[in-house]
Each structure stands twice: as structure tokens, then as C-alpha cells.
Amino acid sequence: MVSGKRVLVTGGAGFIGSHLCERLVSEGHDVLCVDNYFTGSKGNVAHLFNNPHFELMRHDVTFPLYIETDEIYNLACPASPIHYQFDPVQTTKTSVYGAINMLGLSRRVRAKIFQASTSEIYGDPQVHPQQESYWGHCNPIGPRACYDEGKRCAETLFFDYRRQHNVSIKVARIFNTYGPHMHPTDGRVVSNFIVQALRNKPVTIYGDGSQTRSFCYIDDLIEAFLRIMNTDDEFIGPVNIGNPEEFTIQELADTVITLVGSKSKIILKPLPDDDPVQRRPDITIARDILDWEPKIQLLEGLKKTITYFEGRLSKS
Ligand code: NAD
Ligand code: UDP
């Protein structure tokens, strides 16, 4: 990678964003991290404060931003269902106005722009595993729609800015990712199970635990982000990024309890509306074009994440 670019990361104080900022700074780039701290925190990037290549700005991406930059990674958006459903109108605004504002900035300063899209684009998929060519099966009026439809509209905007204004875009569809810097009360399944197991509290499976997900460790994801940004102008995506190993939620719960050595029992809770039944990425495009595939499998990634939460919970 050519070093010394000016890079803007929106949502940079969140789980994924903080790892991305760290990696970009370590490669010698000047990183501007923009966040409104809705689900992220300064603590996630505090270790970068003394680095002259790192800058932090409180800003809400639903409002325009006037800066100079060479590249933009647009990550701002709550990703956990409980958080994106807390203020669903704001979630849609963040995805849609955020995309318009960042694409406008990108057009003005001729910056390359990367969109953190999602496997939720596929909704509750009827095709398995999911390929990028699948148009999805989304409920446009359900509780997940603020996120799913917001992200779908953002993809539309990215492709229209490319067609209409020749903006240089890159769109990644991210599947469930986990690792250090997830918030203990984030609400997503990996952090919930680990925190519950470490506290010997009941591990909450929603539904009967037969639904599936495929879990990607954060370091693998960040490597893919950089490879995508460094592709030539012809490659715009969308490209699936995720770990194609698929697990039931029951298997995840059992694995976490065993790894932690926890006394926790599993309890069943109601399945949220529109919860996707199965999800697994087809990563053929990522393999072929980016020469990328995940290296860290679930057991190894869970162990690292458990170690992180042990440290974090011992401080609280
Ligand atoms: P996160 O909630 O930890 O991070 C999101 C960040 O965006 C937070 O720091 C939050 O404060 C910030 N933010 C929210 N609204 C904002 C606004 N209006 N203006 C400025 N900042 C705002 O979530 P994450 O897991 O790090 O997800 C990052 C991105 O990746 C999101 O766009 C998400 O949709 C996408 N994604 C994540 C996953 C995953 O499994 N983690 C999967 C698919 C897609
Ligand atoms: N889930 C669960 N218990 C929890 C949290 C989540 O069983 O404490 C389930 C949830 O219903 C879903 C899966 O785990 O089927 C993944 O949930 P998450 O919120 O992590 O992400 P999603 O893929 O649904 O956006």
C-alpha cells in the first residue's frame, strides 16, 4: 500500500471502525475519525490519541462535512439490532443522508469511497449460500427495515453516484463480524454470549437456536477492507466479506460456554420478528479478485475475544 494518504473513517470510534483506524495509522496514513458516539466511544480509539497521524472529530454524518481527504471509509451506522431499532428513523437517516453527504464530499474532493454494506441486504434469504447476484428477500415495513432498507438505499446511491457523477466507489457486504472492542452491552450474539458466560449468567438463545450465522473475526475483515480499497477503479463490488463456516446459534452457545468454562445454563427467549433463518456468504468473488479468505477460525477468534472481555469486565 502507498503510505501517507489522508483517510476519513466515519463511525471510526465503533467496533470495526476503531480497528480500521488502528490499521491505517500503523501503515502511515493520516486518519480522521468522525463519530457521534451513538454506539461507539472515545475509549475504543484512546490508544491512538498520542499518534500525530490520528485525529478525532465529533460529527453526525446526517449533516454535511467539509474537509479534504483522499479516501473515505463510510462505516457510520449502528449495527446491532437493539441499537438500530432504538431510533429507527435516525438509523435510516444515518444510512441515507450519511451516504449522500459522504458521496457528495467524495465527488467534491475526488476521493475514493468505500461503503460498509451488509448481509442484511439479503434479508431473510431464500437462496443459500448468498451470492452477490441475489437481490434479497427483505420486509420493507418490519422492525429490521430501517437498517436493511437504509443500507439498500445507500447501495443504490453509491451506484448512482458512480453512474451519474463518476465517483470512485467500493461496496463491501459484511457478514456477522466479532472481536475485541465490541461493547459488552452491544446486544449482538457473540458479545452477549461471552459476557453472559463470563458472569455465569443464563445464556439467552432467541428462538430454538437452529438459526445459523457465519462469524468473521475482525482482523480478517480489516484485511479485506484494505484489499478492496486498493483494487483498481474497475472493481466496485458489491463483494461479500465474511467467513463461510456456518454455525447454529445453539452450537455457538455451547462452544462459548465450554471455552469460558462457565457454569451458565442456556435459556430460550422469543425469536425477534424477521430474524433471518440462515446466513452464509459465498466468497468466490473475494477469493478470486482480492485473493482473500478468512484465516482465523471460530475457536481461535472466540478465544481472543473472550480474553478481551475478561480484561474489560474485570475493570468494570
Ligand atoms: P458499531 O455500532 O460498533 O459502530 C458504528 C459507529 O458509527 C459507532 O461508533 C457509532 O457511534 C457511529 N455512528 C452511528 N450513527 C452515526 C452518525 N449519524 N454519525 C456519525 N457516527 C455515527 O458497529 P460496527 O459493528 O462497528 O459496524 C460498523 C459498520 O459496519 C456499520 O455501517 C455496519 O452497518 C457495518 N456492518 C457491521 C457488521 C458487523 O457484524 N459488525 C455486519 C455488517 C455490516
Ligand atoms: N441471538 C440470540 N441471543 C442473543 C443475541 C442474539 O440467540 O442474546 C440470535 C439472534 O436472534 C440471531 C443471531 O443470534 O438469530 C444473530 O444475532 P445478532 O444480533 O448478533 O445479529 P444479526 O445477524 O441477527 O443481525
Q: Report CA(11)–ligand 1 centroid distance (Å).
A: 6
Of the listed ligands, the closest to the CA of 266 is: 2
Domain presence at residue 184: no
Average pLDDT (173-181) is 97
Which letter does DSSP use for residue 239 in this model? E
Of the listed ligands, the closest to the CA of 57 is: 1
Helical ranges in 142-267 per DSSP H = 145-165, 189-198, 218-229, 249-260
pLDDT digits (tens, 9 = 90+) for 63-122: 999 999 999 999 999 999 999 999 999 999 999 999 999 999 999 999 999 999 999 999
* pTM of the predicted model over 0.75: yes
Domain that holds residue 35: 6-179+216-244+280-295
Domain presence at residue 1: no
Domain presence at residue 207: no
CATH code assigned at 240 = 3.40.50.720
Check pocket membership of 211 for ligand 2, CB cut-off 6 A: yes
- Structure confidence at residue 2 (pLDDT): 47
- Structure confidence at residue 315 (pLDDT): 82
Write the CB contacts of 45 (distance below 8 Å, at least 6 apart in sequence).
12, 13, 18, 21, 22, 33, 54, 56
Mean of all residue pLDDT scores within the chain: 97
Domain presence at residue 48: yes
Cell of 240: 461479500
- At 3, the pLDDT band (50, 70, 90 cuts) reads low
Among residues 250, 246, 254, 255, the alpha carbon closest in space to that of 271 is found at: 250
pLDDT digits (tens, 9 = 90+) for 18-50: 999 999 999 999 999 999 999 999 999 999 999
Helix, coil or strand: residue 118: strand
Helix, coil or strand: residue 144: coil
Residue type, 225: F
Output the DSSP codes for 30-65: EEEEEE--SS--GGGGGGGTT-TTEEEEE--TTS--
Helix, coil or strand: residue 84: helix
Among residues 36, 112, 110, 32, the alpha carbon closest in space to that of 72 is found at: 112
- Structure confidence at residue 1 (pLDDT): 44
Taking the CA atoms of residue 289, residue 290, residue 291 and residue 297 in that order, the dihedral angle to the nearest 10 degrees is -130
Structural domain tally of the chain? Answer: 1
Domain presence at residue 250: no
Which residue owns the Cα nearest ligand 2 atom 25? Answer: 81
- CA 309, 315, 316: angle at the middle one, nearest 5? 90
- Which active-site residues does the annotation give? 147
> With 50 as the cut, is the pLDDT of residue 283 above it?
yes
Domain presence at residue 29: yes
Residue type, 105: L
Domain presence at residue 100: yes
> Which residues lie across from 32 on neighbouring strands?
8, 55
Average pLDDT (260-272) is 97
Average pLDDT (215-231) is 98
Domain presence at residue 301: no
119, 206, 271, 278, best to mutate for ligand 2 pocket (most atoms within 8 Å of CB): 206
- At 316, the pLDDT band (50, 70, 90 cuts) reads confident
